[in-house]
């Protein structure tokens, strides 16, 4: 046994645990995705036990691809993920630049800004959908009611009354409805993850080349062109990383979707898998494999970037 064998063996428990954790369930998913397997079937009881004799080939995949829910779930997953990415990156860059300057109470403002990130997803969803977005009892409902009352009162006012009588009565939005539940999820997740983007961009801004900036100022560069030609290019890599990490996390959003509308009008892939898994395990597994493929497309790029910095 060479001198280095024992120390190297110390990583085996970690590697083995992860290997089992990854291979066993994923292998089962792959197997189930190729057979007919349902939990309850009066007509075909033989399908209720997983067995190779129920081989279906790519039948489950075909079934999933042809189902309307799957296309909707993919569209909805992409809509949610892309909207969140767009909003968090823009807000993140702006706010990171905003607090990158010294001002009184900066540390405290940073603490305020980062806090949403540590709120557990279930609380985040319950808090927003009930206490803030509810059309009657939430702040939204109260605010809309308040504005309507105010406008109503002003209608009878002398001189300016005619102006307010042109105003329409505002209607509060129900965020649990089919058309709006995705919007509610986008709002709450953006609130939770913008702090993450801010934190990363802030870390990155601190390593920005100050001499270069001073030179730009001496050359008479405007604040805008400094931002455009120095800060933004400097943030290119962190932005790419924020986008990829968030994409991977948000592709598997679950608690928020469940709490807002139980998936009503707002299913994403994980939610659809959960629904299939109530009975049709074959379809749930095939959908799972699609989800893995989708996540891997992003993960490959991300891992490549991490790999470059890993050994520096």
Partner 1 sequence: MAIVAQTTKFSKIAWPVLAWMVGLLFFFPIFWMVLTSFKTDADAVKPEYLFWFKPTLDNYLNMTENYDYWRFARNSVITSVFATVFTLFVGIPAAYAMAFNPSRATKDVLMWMLSTKMLPAAAVLYPMTFLTKSLGLFDTHFLIIMVLSLINLPIVVWMLFTYFKEIPKDIIEAGKMDGVDTLGEIKEILVPLAWGGIASTALLCFIFCWNEAYWTVRLTTTEAATLSKLIEGNRAPEGLFFGRLSAVSTAAVGPIVVLGWFCQKQLVQGLTFGAVK
Q: For residue 70, what are the contacts with CB-CB under 8 A and spacing of at least 6? A: 64, 272, 287, 290
Both ends of the chain: CA-CA distance in Å?
Answer: 30
Residue 231, Cβ neighbours under 10 Å: how many? 19
C-beta closer to partner 1: residue 160 or 303: 303
Radius of gyration of the chain (CA): 26
- CB of 87: closest distance to partner 1 in angstroms? 13
C-beta closer to partner 1: residue 17 or 157: 17
- CB of 164: closest distance to partner 1 in angstroms? 21
Sole residue written with tokens 């308040």: 146
C-beta closer to partner 1: residue 122 or 157: 122
| CA angle 77–80–85, rounded 5-degree value | 120
C-beta closer to partner 1: residue 153 or 161: 153
281-310 vs 232-251: helix crossing angle, rounded to 10: 150
- CB of 58: closest distance to partner 1 in angstroms? 17
- CB of 280: closest distance to partner 1 in angstroms? 10
Sole residue written with tokens 């928020």: 256
C-beta closer to partner 1: residue 87 or 294: 294
Q: How far apart are CA 203 and CA 114, in angstroms?
A: 13
Q: Residue 84 in contact with residue 190, Cβ under 8 Å?
A: yes
- CB of 42: closest distance to partner 1 in angstroms? 21
Q: Residue 202 in contact with residue 96, Cβ under 8 Å?
A: yes
- CB of 114: closest distance to partner 1 in angstroms? 6
**In this structure, what token pair is assigned to residue 264?**
């009503």
- CB of 157: closest distance to partner 1 in angstroms? 22
Q: How far apart are CA 24 and CA 27, in angstroms?
A: 5
C-beta closer to partner 1: residue 162 or 228: 228
C-beta closer to partner 1: residue 159 or 311: 311
Closest CA to 142 of 210, 150, 112, 18: 150
- CA 181 to chain centroid: 14
């Amino acid at each position: 046994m060479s001198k280095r064998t024992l120390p190297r063996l110390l990583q085996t428990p970690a590697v083995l645990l992860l290997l089992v954790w990854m291979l066993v369930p994923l292998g089962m998913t792959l197997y189930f995705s190729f057979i007919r397997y349902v939990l309850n079937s009066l007509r075909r009881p033989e399908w209720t036990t997983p067995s190779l004799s129920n081989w279906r080939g790519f039948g489950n995949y075909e079934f999933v691809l042809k189902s309307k829910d799957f296309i909707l779930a993919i569209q909805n997953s992409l809509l949610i993920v892309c909207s969140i990415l767009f909003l968090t990156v823009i807000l993140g860059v702006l706010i990171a630049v905003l607090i990158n300057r010294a001002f009184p109470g900066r540390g405290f403002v940073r603490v305020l800004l980062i806090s949403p990130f540590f709120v557990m997803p279930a609380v985040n969803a319950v808090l927003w959908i009930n206490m803030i977005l509810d059309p009657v009892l939430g702040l939204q409902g109260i605010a809309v009611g308040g504005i309507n009352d105010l406008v109503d009162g002003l209608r009878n006012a002398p001189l300016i009354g005619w102006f307010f009588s042109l105003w329409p009565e505002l209607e509060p939005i129900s965020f649990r409805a089919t058309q709006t539940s995705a919007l509610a999820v986008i709002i709450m997740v953006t609130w939770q993850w913008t702090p993450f983007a801010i934190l990363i961009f802030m870390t990155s801004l601190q390593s920005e080349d100050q001499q270069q900036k001073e030179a730009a100022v001496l050359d008479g560069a405007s604040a805008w062109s400094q931002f455009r030609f120095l800060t933004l290019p400097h943030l290119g890599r962190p932005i790419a990383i924020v986008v990829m990490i968030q994409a991977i996390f948000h592709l598997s959003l679950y608690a928020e979707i469940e709490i807002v509308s139980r998936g009503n009008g707002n299913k994403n892939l994980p939610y659809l898998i959960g629904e299939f898994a109530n009975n049709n395990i074959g379809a749930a597994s095939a959908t799972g494999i699609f989800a893995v493929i989708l996540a891997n497309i992003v993960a490959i790029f991300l891992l490549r970037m991490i790999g470059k910095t890993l050994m520096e």
